[in-house]
Amino acid sequence: GENVEQHPSTLSVQEGDSAVIKCTYSDSASNYFPWYKQELGKRPQLIIDIRSNVGEKKDQRIAVTLNKTAKHFSLHITETQPEDSAVYFCAGWDTGRRALTFGSGTRLQVQP
């Protein structure tokens, strides 16, 4: 099955700085990589995703990059704001189970 590792586990940045979260995956057939944001006490919500036929995708201040050869993908948040503070999860599609396997999460704190 798919195994997804995520780093760092915590990340603290100053407001306005950029933040980068990295994930690696094991299933070379995996074709779908979403990112979820979870605020305290809330449900995870999809913020951006990328498929294996695309190398980069942007949506305003967030972007995701994918390196299929190295089997890693990253979330980039630019011009961070206090409301970006949350736990972020990466995930990879397990082609055997037809389900997402999640990383262990990154707690991002944006200091005003």
Partner 1 sequence: DAGITQSPRHKVTETGTPVTLRCHQTENHRYMYWYRQDPGHGLRLIHYSYGVKDTDKGEVSDGYSVSRSKTEDFLLTLESATSSQTSVYFCAISEGTGVGGGYTFGSGTRLTVV
Q: Which of residues 31-90 bind partner 1 (CB under 8 A)?
A: 31-32, 34, 42-46, 49, 51, 89
Q: Kindly tell me which residue out of 24, 74, 85, 101 binds partner 1, with binding defined by CB under 8 A.
A: 101
Nearer to partner 1, 14 or 40 (CB): 40
**Distance in Å, CB of 86 to partner 1, minimum:** 14
Q: Characterize the bridge pairing of strands 72-77 and 86-94.
A: unpaired
**Shortest separation between residue 55's beta carbon and partner 1, angstroms:** 17
Residue 28 sits in the site that holds partner 1 (CB under 8 A) = no
List 10, 54, 59, 99, residue binding partner 1 (CB under 8 A): 99
| DSSP secondary structure, the chain, as one string | ---EEEE-SEEEEETTS-EEEEEEE--TT--EEEEEEE-TTS--EEEEEEETT-SEEEETTEEEEEETTTTEEEEEE-S--GGG-EEEEEEEEETTTTEEEE---EEEEEE-
Q: Give the interface with partner 1 as residue ranges (CB under 8 A).
A: 1, 6, 9, 30-32, 34, 42-46, 49, 51, 89, 93, 97-105
